[in-house]
Amino acid sequence: MYISTRGNHKPVTASQAICLGMVPEGGLFVPEQIPGLSMEEIRGMVDLPYPALAETILRYYLDDFSPEEIREATQAAYGTNFYHEDIAPVTVLEGLGAFLELYHGPTAAFKDMALQLTPRLLAKAMRKGESARELLILVATSGDTGKAALEGFKDVAGMHVACFFPDQGVSRAQELQMRTTDGKNTHVYGVNGNFDDCQNGVKEIFSDSGFNLALARKGWQLSSANSINWGRLCPQIVYYFYGYFSLVQAGRIAMGQPLHIVVPTGNFGNILSAWYAREMGLPIGKLICASNENRVLTDFFTTGHYDRRREFFKTSSPSMDILISSNLERFLFEMNGHDAELLRSYMQALGEKGEFTVERSLLKKMTDLLWAGSASEEEAAAEIRRIYLQWHYLIDTHTAVGAAVYDKYKAVTGDETPVVMDATASPFKFSKSVLEALDDAEMPEDLDELQIADALAVCTNTRNHPALEDLDRRPLLHERTIRMEDMQSIVEGITEGTSAS
């Protein structure tokens, strides 16, 4: 069963948690108990191909799904939709570490790893409940989630997806990816605001009970594809097992040996999934939490004081430009021994004052297993250049933040434990920044980002990601940009068939 981090909801099944997305009264669903695996059980999974491994792991969590349902969903999600047969291949760079490439899905970012599966779980979960006829998925996106959700949900019967992204806050390729999405049930809007504004707008719509009741009367229900939905987090646990096993098979680590994980972090979903894998018994050592210049998490894990009242920086790793890391709530709840009352007080303070402080003992407990650091724009760019020059391996701007923070970790601690770094996006998704980093020079303003992708492919002799080719030749199907205040009425319009995007 799943319980609320704020103790304000009765326990629900996995399918209910997935349908609801978040706790309607505020709060997030977490598993009441995390399944613990023996080393024997873990060893038994070493050779499983990705879809079978996903099935095995998910069965521990999806309590009210049948094994057949889980198999169907995982086989479909990780069958033919990825551009790499290993789904999440690991590349080892001698003398540096390994990269877990999570970007071979249909939208070239790690969000596909979950979002190819979540809609299939959601469709099955909906059939279990007494639930609504039409489900509307609301997505606030800093770029990558949006497209991944649109691709995952498009043309799934009974589902609609509306995606809100910060206008001016995503890369050109990201914007084109979203605005060119086909499918009869997709809605895409630029919003005049930053990512936090989009996310807050969506959260407000979710927690407006009157509005939700009115939708329910019309047979509509809202849900979320953001990583606040357990159906997003849970599939991400799988690739940590897969990455670990790949390194065992490659003879890089022995079964049972600790492996550090480096995660370029935004909403704290990806790193939290690594924590769940660790709790289940996978021999993960430290979780290294990497932030860009929006270093609210680094400061928090250094001081115990979370303070969102600070300047918001637009960086070249936009999917990490976040000042409110939603999944931190889950981590705090787990680390403070499921003290929902304490959690409520933090979240209330965060909502009202924009800050909260945790006790020393809790901070210590967290930093015993998590190391946080941040990288500046210059440091991340230098890392792209260094890794390309030394290993002829291209990484994107987000992955670069992780790699740069890992350098700092090693410099500070001298720790030589084997490491795997999440490669969260294809470098071609952020070609302009990547090429500028390689050249150590600014691109002319008038060069189109898509031409730059071609240039990057040529100059590094690397193939562009297939999902990103031809982007500029697809028709723009969603051209609107809206005001923050209008998000709710747009949502209402979608349920009435009157909001074009």
Residues that bind ligand PLP (CB under 6 A): 109-111, 144, 227, 264-270, 319-320, 398, 424-425
Contacts of 56 (CB under 8 A, 6+ apart): 45, 48
Residue 396 Cβ vs ligand PLP, minimum distance, rounded to whole Å: 7
What is the helix (H) or strand (E) element at residue 364, kind and residue range? helix 360-367
Q: Could you please report the per-residue DSSP string of 455-470?
A: HHHHHHT-PPPGGGTT
Q: Which residues of 476-499 are buried (b: 16+ CB within 10 A; e: fewer)?
A: eebeeebebeebeebbbbbbeeeb
Cβ proximity to ligand PLP, 372 vs 490, nearer residue: 372
Residue 380 Cβ vs ligand PLP, minimum distance, rounded to whole Å: 12
Cβ proximity to ligand PLP, 16 vs 199, nearer residue: 199
Residue 114 Cβ vs ligand PLP, minimum distance, rounded to whole Å: 9
Cβ proximity to ligand PLP, 104 vs 124, nearer residue: 104
Residue 422 Cβ vs ligand PLP, minimum distance, rounded to whole Å: 8
Residue 13 Cβ vs ligand PLP, minimum distance, rounded to whole Å: 24
Q: Dihedral through CA 184, CA 186, CA 187, CA 193, nearest 10?
A: -160
Cβ proximity to ligand PLP, 111 vs 124, nearer residue: 111
Amino acid at 331: F
Residue 31 Cβ vs ligand PLP, minimum distance, rounded to whole Å: 18
Residue 225 Cβ vs ligand PLP, minimum distance, rounded to whole Å: 12
Residue 82 CA to residue 113 CA, distance in Å, equals 9
Q: Which residues of 19-55 are buried (b: 16+ CB within 10 A; e: fewer)?
A: bbbbbeebbbbbbeebeebeeeebeebeebebbebbb
Residue 397 Cβ vs ligand PLP, minimum distance, rounded to whole Å: 8
Give me the helix-helix angle, 377-391 and 397-413, nearest 10°: 90
Cβ proximity to ligand PLP, 119 vs 220, nearer residue: 119
Residue 89 Cβ vs ligand PLP, minimum distance, rounded to whole Å: 17
Residue 449 Cβ vs ligand PLP, minimum distance, rounded to whole Å: 16
Q: How far is CA 44 from the centre of its chain?
A: 28
Cβ proximity to ligand PLP, 124 vs 308, nearer residue: 308
Residue 210's SS3 state is helix
Residue 131 CA to residue 123 CA, distance in Å, equals 11
Residues 487, 202 contacting (CB under 8 angstroms): yes
Beta strands at 2-4 and 29-31: parallel, antiparallel or unpaired: antiparallel
Cβ proximity to ligand PLP, 319 vs 336, nearer residue: 319
Residue 397 CA to residue 433 CA, distance in Å, equals 7
Kindly report the length of the chain: 501
Cβ proximity to ligand PLP, 27 vs 402, nearer residue: 402
Beta strands at 355-357 and 186-192: parallel, antiparallel or unpaired: unpaired
Cβ proximity to ligand PLP, 89 vs 220, nearer residue: 89
Cβ proximity to ligand PLP, 264 vs 304, nearer residue: 264
Residue 253 DSSP class: S
- CB-based burial label for 366 (10 Å; 0-12, 13-18, 19+): buried
Q: How far is CA 428 from the centre of its chain?
A: 18
Residue 256 Cβ vs ligand PLP, minimum distance, rounded to whole Å: 27
Cβ proximity to ligand PLP, 109 vs 149, nearer residue: 109
